[in-house]
Amino acid sequence: MLFSKNIGKHLSLDETSLSKGELYTYLTNKKGKGRKGTLVACIKGTKASEISDVITRIPLEQRLKVEEVTIDMARNMEAAVSACFANANIVTDRFHVVKLVLDGLQHLRIKLRWKAIESENENIKEAKEKGERFKPQEFKNGDTLKQLLARSRYILAKKEKDWTENQSIRAAILYEQYPKLKEAYDHCMKLRNVYENESKSKAEKHLNQWIESTSELKIEEFYTAANSINYNRENILNFFNNRSTNASAESFNSKIKLFRANLRGVTDVEFFLFRLYKLFA
């Protein structure tokens, strides 16, 4: 589906599934604010060539007026935007950048948790051989080591100022047992703080410092994230031109998912797309 009249200066490009994991790509106009006039294009598939073939049907004069397109970190989306909107700045969404680094932190936590589980299993086995009952160590908040690592998932995803009293106690115990997790958490927060800068030049300086310090930290879970951020550096820094995010696209995706949930899946794709056309185009 293509609705050229809905195009605007500030667009978002994202994908979501309709049924059976089949992905559709949506080009939306931020000015539509999730109501009529929001949907510019709905394209089956995620290949850059498939997206470009549809969007380039919009007259070139209209496409040249587009100033900015926000995307996630997918290379196919960047290629499609570059091919379709020659004058547009590409902005990599800040949420996806931060999430990439947080995923590295969570990967480290999960790795440590598996080690704790393996260690506990070994201790249980040794206790059985001796005819004893194994009792795991409990910390002052009542957590065992593997519980401590499991229950710290949401703590590590939040800023310290947003922790509750119990979460602060749990974090203190966690960092005492695993100082490396404390280093990794602080490193994640430094990246989040990059987005607190008001000027693009200061943000660029702090982002470069963060990338350089990643190698000095010697936490391999962050190496891939740092390489991806370095590769997308220009698009990431374009955020500071207008502080644009992909929130409108995520909100649009949430509405589609809600419709899908209410219908308990999509059996009639054509009617579902017709519904999107009536509501959002």
Instruction: Supply the DSSP string of 144-176, one letter for each residue.
Output: -HHHHHHTTHHHHHS-GGG--HHHHHHHHHHHH
The reported pLDDT for the residue numbered 261 is: 83
Domain with CATH 3.30.420.10 in the chain: 4-93+245-280
The reported pLDDT for the residue numbered 62 is: 95
Residues 6+ apart with CB under 8 A from 159: 189, 192
The reported pLDDT for the residue numbered 208 is: 95
> pLDDT, tens digit, for every residue of 111-125?
999 999 999 999 999
Residues of the chain with pLDDT under 50: none
The reported pLDDT for the residue numbered 259 is: 84
The reported pLDDT for the residue numbered 213 is: 93
Instruction: Give, rounded to a whole angstrom, the gap between the first and last alpha carbons of the chain.
Output: 9
Q: Report the topology of domain 4-93+245-280.
A: Nucleotidyltransferase; domain 5 (3.30.420)
Contact, 189 vs 171, CB < 8 A? no
> pLDDT, tens digit, for every residue of 35-83?
899 999 999 999 999 999 999 999 999 999 999 999 998 899 999 999 9
Predicted TM-score (pTM) of the model is: 0.87
The reported pLDDT for the residue numbered 22 is: 85
